[in-house]
Every structure is written in structure tokens, then in C-alpha cells.
């Protein structure tokens, strides 16, 4: 979970939540096609395997300013 959510107690340095929040604050109204590569890079840095459809859905939420709820399935 420390790859997804910021945890001050964790030494992990690239949580996806921080990158998503930063993009949401700076990219509202921007094209989805501009946001997706940035989300993909953040997901890669956080070692998360979001699908292309997941990233597009997240980018649409950022672009429109809509709330977005992460749905995570942990396997393992």
C-alpha cells in the first residue's frame, strides 16, 4: 500500500497518491492525452500496474475536476 498511499512512516519515496494529487491540482482542463503519460510515469515509479483504461479514467477525472475513487485489488 505504501506504493499507492503516502505514509510518513514509510521510507518509500514515490507514492502514487502524491503524484496524482499534484496533477489534479495543476492539470484541470488539460487534455486527457497530455495527462495519461504523466500518470503512466508516476505509476511506473510507484511500481503500480494500472491498465491503460485505468489511467485514462484517472486522467478524465483530473481533466474534468471530478472526484475519483481508487479501486485497488491486492493479489499476492
Locus of grid cell 499476492: 76
- Rounded Cα–Cα distance for residues 1 and 65 (Å): 25
22 within some domain? no
Q: What is the pLDDT of residues 40-72, one digit of tens each?
A: 999 998 888 899 999 999 999 999 999 998 777
16 within some domain? no
18 within some domain? no
20 within some domain? no
Task: Provide the domain limits for residue 36.
Answer: 1-6+30-76
Domain tally, the chain:
1
- The pTM score is 0.80
Average pLDDT (1-26) is: 70
42 within some domain? yes
54 within some domain? yes
3 state SS for 9-68 = CCCCCCCHHHHHHHHHHHCCCCCHHHHHHHHHHHHHHCCCCCCHHHHHHHHHHHHHCCCC
Amino acid at each position: 500500500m505504501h506504493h499507492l498511499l503516502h505514509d510518513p512512516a514509510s521510507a518509500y519515496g514515490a507514492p502514487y497518491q502524491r503524484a496524482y494529487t499534484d496533477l489534479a491540482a495543476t492539470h484541470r482542463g488539460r487534455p486527457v492525452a497530455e495527462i495519461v503519460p504523466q500518470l503512466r510515469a508516476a505509476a511506473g515509479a510507484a511500481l503500480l500496474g494500472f491498465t491503460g483504461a485505468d489511467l485514462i479514467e484517472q486522467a478524465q477525472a483530473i481533466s474534468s475536476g471530478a472526484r475519483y475513487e481508487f479501486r485497488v485489488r491486492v493479489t499476492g
